[in-house]
Amino acid sequence: MPPDGNRPMSKSRSKYVCRECGYESLKWLGRCPSCGNFNAMEEELVLSEPAEKGRGARYFEASFSSEAVVLTQEPQGPQAQDEKERIVTGMSELDRVFGGGLVPGSVTLLGGDPGIGKSTILLQACQAMAQQGKVLYVSGEESPRQIRLRAQRLGVSDPNLLLLSNTELQAVERAVEKEAPRVVIIDSIQTMFDARLNSLPGTVSQIKECASALISLAKTREITFLFIGHMNKEGSIAGPKMLEHMVDTVLYFEGDKNLAYRIIRASKNRFGSTNEIGIFEMGQAGLREVENPSAALLSGKPHGVSGTCTVCILEGTRPILAEIQALLVESRFGSPRRMSTGVEQNRCAMLLAVMEKHLDLKLGTSDAYFNVVGGLRLNEPSSDLALVLAAASSYFNRPVYDEIVAFGEVGLAGELRSVRGVSERIAEAARLGYTSFLVPHTDRPKAPIKGTTVYAVKNIGEAVEIALQPK
Ligand code: TYD
Ligand code: MG
């Protein structure tokens, strides 16, 4: 039903549209009169002045043309050089996450907890980027003096790096107009505001409007934008989810603030793979790339101690070794505690249940704690076997042999299921001096690898037999 045309037009008003069938109403209704669905009416803003195009429309106009072209035809104009001319950040770990540097005219959103090092890493990247063109750093979080001091400490000094301490959208647009930078950093997108809107900075509509205005600027003028985004309590970037859809690349900076290692991971990338990660270490002079993460993550691993096991995970194309620890102790309370850092708690609970059933262990009265050393977060099922071995090792108080690396997904029947990249994992572990491997029986390497012993096991029972040292 169309809204009543005789009503006096206010500047903007809302209507309610049914999510299921598209029925429109001026009032909110609990049940859609057309299709009968409950709680399906959603508010939508109706703009009464169609003459002034919304920024959203401008954004789409800027990025897309209405001409259809043959897919395989090479693009003409500025987009033609997309792939060739990337802007490098001078940090190979960061460039890898971007897929080999930043694409001119692309927009990236970098999210992460406060104090994790978002401002630091982008300021450090400015040094190399400023050598390739003008860089404008817009900050609404720190004073120019603070940023200058930090830049000095990080050794960032290039006359091509400009600083703007203003978060008003039009001021930024003017500065971009005047200076014509190649890269613009917005620290942070939540502090940006458009004075023409009457809502506070940080609100959904301000973030959305400012982001779409800046994105249209990026697309029309081929300027690379990097937005820093705050995180909300749920661990995603604060503001509308739509923000993540609007930008080309979304990166998350992870890791424990109190630990040295920080990991940058792409959760969306229109110009590269999302599997790659970059590993950094926070030190006196800012973030330092960790070129050999496996060695760094295993550096403090104790020998001959129960409750720890080495795993080899695959992050994108890169194998990384990590140490998994487990501690099983008698519970003092009625319901046992299950805690984990770096691995999903539900996954751990499931593995404990599988162990209880298929190894015939009494875990119902044990508290279980799991930890991945170094602040790494494992979200690959291939770490299951190492979790099981670490837990079994703690339970029986028998250490896992030091030279063993275990990987494989564990199924609910206690069986081991295959994982990808077995030979890459073995090669990386062998490089660091590991000689014995526990792998799922379906993943036995075709040819023997010199200097290594591969145990291909069918289930967790067999794995525990082989991996644990005798008492
Ligand atoms: P920052 O980059 O400001 O974090 P974010 O922008 O993500 O909120 O700073 C991160 C932390 O790193 C800060 O608590 C101080 C610390 N730090 C160092 O340890 N060494 C350094 O050289 C710098 C610049 C910061
Ligand atoms: Mg900051």
**Adjacency order of strands within the sheet including 24-25:** 24-25, 12-18, 41-47
464 backbone φψ class: left, alpha, beta (φ>0; ψ -120 to 50): alpha
Note the pLDDT of residue 345.
94
| DSSP-derived 3-state class of residue 424 | helix
Is 140 close to ligand 1, i.e. is its CB under 6 Å away? Answer: no
| DSSP-derived 3-state class of residue 43 | strand
Is 286 close to ligand 1, i.e. is its CB under 6 Å away? Answer: yes
Q: How far is the CA of 89 from the centre of ligand 2 (A)?
A: 18
Asked if residue 7 has pLDDT above 70, the reply is: no
Note the pLDDT of residue 64.
60
Q: Which residues pair with 112 in a beta bridge?
A: 253
406 backbone φψ class: left, alpha, beta (φ>0; ψ -120 to 50): beta
Query: Distance between CA atoms of 76 and 252, rounded to whole angstroms?
Result: 33
> Which letter does DSSP use for residue 237 in this model?
B
Q: How far is the CA of 148 from the centre of ligand 1 (A)?
A: 14
Note the pLDDT of residue 95.
93
Asked if residue 73 has pLDDT above 90, the reply is: no
Please state the atom number of ligand 1 nearest to the C-alpha of residue 112.
Answer: 7
Is 111 close to ligand 1, i.e. is its CB under 6 Å away? Answer: no
Number of H helices, E strands in the chain: 12, 21
**What's the pLDDT tens digit per position in 92-124?**
989 989 988 999 999 999 999 888 999 999 999
**What's the pLDDT tens digit per position in 353-392?**
999 999 999 998 999 999 998 778 888 899 999 999 999 9
Residue 337 φ then ψ, to 5°: -90, 140
Name which of 85-94, 136-145, 203-212 the model is least confident about: 203-212
Q: How far is the CA of 221 from the centre of ligand 2 (A)?
A: 26
Asked if residue 63 has pLDDT above 80, the reply is: no
170-177 average pLDDT score: 94
- What's the predicted TM-score (pTM) here? 0.74
41-61 average pLDDT score: 55
Q: How far is the CA of 23 from the centre of ligand 1 (A)?
A: 51
Q: Which residue has the higher pLDDT, 42 or 359?
A: 359
Please state the atom number of ligand 1 nearest to the C-alpha of residue 120.
Answer: 2
**What's the pLDDT tens digit per position in 113-171?**
888 999 999 999 999 999 999 999 999 999 999 999 999 999 999 999 999 999 999 99
| Burial (CB count <10 Å: 0-12, 13-18, 19+), residue 70 | exposed
Percent residues over pLDDT 90 in the chain: 53
Is 112 close to ligand 1, i.e. is its CB under 6 Å away? Answer: yes
Note the pLDDT of residue 3.
46
SS percent in the chain: helix, strand, coil, step 5: 30, 25, 40
Name which of 240-249, 253-262, 275-284, 409-418 the model is least confident about: 253-262
Give the pLDDT band (50/70/90) at residue 52. Answer: very low
Q: How many residues does the chain have?
A: 471
